[in-house]
Amino acid sequence: MARFVLVHGAFVGAWIWGPLMDRLKAAGHSAEAFDLPGLGDDRTPVSQITLEAYAARLCDVLASRPERAIVAGNSMGGVVATQAAAQCPQRVAALVYVAAFLPKNGQSLLDLTKLPEGATDQVQANISIQGDPPVAVMPEAASGPALYGSCAADVVAWAVARQRPQPVAPFATPVSIPPGALDSIKRYYVLC
């Protein structure tokens, strides 16, 4: 069976993958999720949170076991998965983008939100930027439709109660993909 490493998106933590991890494990797969720096239960200070720190955390998780993994990223997690795969491609069997941002070399998440298909993005339309260093805050009332639009009310309440402010620095940093770094990695996209 396969090893899955799951990368969460903005405002959440590893907990968001719990229901999927249960299904993957029931099917005989290995499934791991982890908190990106400053999210979930991780308390890394906002001033230390960068796209590089996110990618390094994922590469560390991938290096914790000898077998290569199928890395699935959701939303912002697609940018993180791409950057990490470019840094430690020998650890990645495949990339799966689950309703995720799929950047090209030199693109940031913010660049991608400015494309025509991002014109109706409810996350960008509803967040406010606060603090120094800045974090994005998603109002509770907007979270349901913007982040969990297809979920049942009890799932929305469960998720909204756990979300945290999202450090902004990783949004603005372009990915750096050396030529050929991702050529041997299969990539898949799941539309939701």
**CATH number of the domain that 137 lies in?**
3.40.50.1820
Report pLDDT for 30: 98
Distance between CA 19 and CA 17 in Å, rounded? 6
Report pLDDT for 1: 93
Helices and strands (H and E) in the chain: how many: 8, 8
Please state the rounded mean pLDDT for residues 49-69.
98
Report pLDDT for 118: 85
Please state the rounded mean pLDDT for residues 35-57.
98
Q: What average pLDDT is seen over the chain? A: 96
Answer whether residue 117 shows pLDDT above 90.
no
Answer whether residue 192 shows pLDDT above 90.
no
Helix 51-63 with 77-87: angle, nearest 10 deg: 60
Query: What is the domain count for the chain?
Result: 1
CA 76 from chain center: how many Å?
4
Report pLDDT for 173: 97
Answer whether residue 46 shows pLDDT above 90.
yes
Answer whether residue 38 shows pLDDT above 90.
yes
Domain that holds residue 174: 3-190
Predicted TM-score of the model (pTM): 0.96
Angle 104-107-112 (CA atoms, 0-180°, nearest 5)? Answer: 100
Judge whether 172 and 110 are in contact, CB under 8 Å: yes
Report pLDDT for 186: 97
3-class DSSP state for residue 174? Answer: coil
